[in-house]
Structure 1
């Protein structure tokens, strides 16, 4: 399996209509977030590290395209998810639609496609499946265009989106 970097993933600038991200982990250990997370743990809030992402979201939203995210989370939240929850208004303001789904609210018997890994779905045609190493970091994503796998991800996206709670209404 060939893994590509996040920079090589289908770019949002190439997006036709919609990108959807499913997050299934309670901690990500993303190197770019180590310092901002440590600052937040000390009570210092500086979301400037999010600027590259929020400017992409602003541009995509201004073009009438959609970026959605569902986070399936354990309650009570891990410290990382608490931090994600605290920073979500920044991405919401830029135009990202973020929804929360407590694990106890997952549909019974649901099997996640892509071996239970997180994934991005671009325009219901390209899937970028995140893979994690043994330290929890993401060495890259696997691109999948198989129509059966993509269709299953569309089905799961729709199912979870219908059950997930909009950020402004979710009270952990």
Structure 2
């Protein structure tokens, strides 16, 4: 499988945007499974318990001046998995990402891709393709400026309506 988003993020110069549109991903993540059992380790003050390579990559990019934004289009009430992502988002924010949430019902008139994607510097698009049960099956990198612009516009439409993580209250 092609390399994850961490690699192009390490080369980004200005922006990295990420749109997530699924309500469920593969549920074998050990942190998710521990969370299901009641373990709540994701707080800004206990970084040693959760700070990982992704957080290093985001922090390094933000330190270089890259604006890293993540928007999630979610069904409400949230699925168990997305509720875990909500709890886990404190780690993204602590690393320097800006995170917003948009209830799916408020996205009904937006034209957005049916797949998760990243756009780096408005040039490189990384699409994540998943199986029906949420397992990542392919990372597809595309260098097409028209497609990158379309994805960026779709992201910006979601971003403009979405609620910042600090203000969003899951249903």
Aligned CA-pair RMSD = 1.8
CA distance in 2, matches of 1:143, 1:155: 18
Return 5+ residue gaps in structure 2 as ranges.
Answer: 43-48
Aligned pair count reads 164
CA distance in 2, matches of 1:90, 1:53: 10
- Do residues 52 (structure 1) and 50 (structure 2) align? no
Q: Matches of 1:91 and 1:112 in 2, distance apart?
A: 23
CA distance in 2, matches of 1:55, 1:30: 24
Query: How far 1:87 moved relative to its partner?
Result: 1.1
Q: Which structure has more helix as a fraction of its residues? A: 1
1-structure distance, mates of 2:7, 2:150: 19
The question of whether the paired residues in 1 share the 8 Å contact of 2:13 and 2:65 is answered with no
1:133-172 to 2 correspondences below 5 Å: 133-172=131-170
1:17 to 14, 17, 22: 14
Secondary structure of the 2:166 match is helix
The equivalent position to 1:39 in structure 2, one of 34, 37, 53, is 34
Runs of 4+ deviating beyond 6 Å: none
TM-score, scaled to structure 2: 0.88
- Structure 1: any 5+ residue segments left out of the alignment? none
Q: How far 1:139 sits from its partner (Å)?
A: 2.0
- What is residue 88 of structure 1 aligned with on the other side? 89
What TM-score results when the alignment is normalised by the length of structure 1? 0.87
